[in-house]
Amino acid sequence: MKGDYSYYSGSFLKLNRNNAAIGVIVGLCLCAVQSVFRERIMATKDILMTIMFSIVITLSITNSVYLYQCFLKPKKKVNLWQFILVYYVCNLLGMLIGVELSYFFVSLIFHLKYVPLAHFNDYKFTFIVVLIVGTIIYFYMAQKATMNAQIKEKELDLARLKQLKTQAELQTLQSKINPHFLYNSLNSIASLIHEDADKAEDMTLKLSKLFRYSINSQQENMALVKDEMEIVNTYLDIEKVRFGDRISFTSSIDNNLLDKRIPRFLVQPLVENALKHGLNHTAKNGILEVNLKQQNHKLIIEVVDNGPPFPDELNMGYGMQSTYDKLNLLYGEGYEMQLINTPRKHIFLSLPII
């Protein structure tokens, strides 16, 4: 067995309560053995005395080991044999103290004269009992400590696996870009090459920037608001080429939120969802707004469009579903998300400010 041999752990009161119960059990066992050998049941007075002796000696031994571990144990870890030696020394010391305390209590109860260190026969008998019971307790506590260590190790392994699973899921969510957006962007670039080469180059660079951000080589789950919104604006610049003057794009951010942190690739899928499902068929006068503000110690994100209202039974596409999945992984129940149609249609998202 390896590791820390501190088997007596937990609160002091709980430790003594549990070991007092052990003392009662040991005392009853001793009474039963003596009754068998004497072939008659012990007197009630003798039973109570035996149980009292057993409790006092057990608690003395327990507290001897406990005090050693709390105040005398070396800071560096002891090996197994050192612990066993100290354990049995504490048992013997506790036994001696327990026997003397027991006779002292008897002298008080029955008004007898107390003579210290004059109970040699009791020492011999108690030593045998302590040796047997102490060994049983040692192996029980050693087995319990080993099992607890194994359980803690399993729990740590499970926690690490869960963390890795969550990290992998987040990376998957953050690395996806809607393929329809990619096809449309490449088609727009292809058509611009012959019409406006500089604009096609600019659009290609913006698309490259968007992909670099989505790859997330540092594997970070959170990003600064200013960086996230820069990517949203990059995405909108690309989409402006396709939509032209049909849609008016605007965004506003409270300055005190620029250096706060939000999940990576959180806002862009919501904006994409508004374009794809809300404004895709708008011929003119389309409006798309992205607003970030602080309200009641929360970071509020609103993505507003004037397209058709959200249906009662919403069939979520990738953008909305990935947002829900990401927020559940990162915040659990610590966020709020609503799809609102009146007085104006918008996605409302409330997050803790980080």
| Mean pLDDT of all residues in 314-333 | 75
- The pair of structure tokens assigned to 192 is 């611009």
pLDDT digits (tens, 9 = 90+) for 81-120: 777 777 777 778 777 777 778 878 878 877 777 777 766 7
Q: Where is pLDDT greater, at 47 or 75?
A: 47
Split at pLDDT 50, 70, 90, the class of 178 is: low
| Mean pLDDT of all residues in 315-341 | 80
pLDDT digits (tens, 9 = 90+) for 36-52: 877 778 777 778 877 88
Q: Are 244 and 267 in contact (CB under 8 A)?
A: no
* pLDDT value at residue 106: 75
pLDDT at 7 over 60: no
pLDDT digits (tens, 9 = 90+) for 59-73: 777 777 777 776 666
* pLDDT value at residue 84: 76
pLDDT at 179 over 80: no
| Mean pLDDT of all residues in 286-303 | 93
Q: Using CA atoms, how far apart are residues 63 and 69, in angstroms rounded to an integer?
A: 10
Q: How many CA atoms lie within 13 A of 289 on its CB side?
A: 16
Split at pLDDT 50, 70, 90, the class of 347 is: very high
pLDDT at 268 over 50: yes
Q: What DSSP designation does 333 have?
A: T
From 327, 329, 334, select the one nearest 168 (Cα to Cα): 329
Q: What are phi and psi of 345, to 5 degrees?
A: -75, 125
From 282, 318, 290, 315, select the one nearest 181 (Cα to Cα): 318
Does 3.30.565.10 match the CATH number of domain 176-352? yes
Give 147-158 as a DSSP string.
HHHHHHHHHHHH
Average pLDDT along the chain? 79
**CATH 3.30.565.10 boundaries in the chain:** 176-352
Query: Above pLDDT 70, what percent of the chain?
Result: 81
* pLDDT value at residue 5: 47
pLDDT at 158 over 90: no
pLDDT at 284 over 80: yes
Give 250-286 as a DSSP string.
EEEE-GGGTTSEEETTSHHHHHHHIIIIIITT--S-E
| Mean pLDDT of all residues in 305-319 | 74
| Mean pLDDT of all residues in 140-165 | 73
Q: Using CA atoms, how far apart are residues 36 and 46, in angstroms rounded to an integer?
A: 15
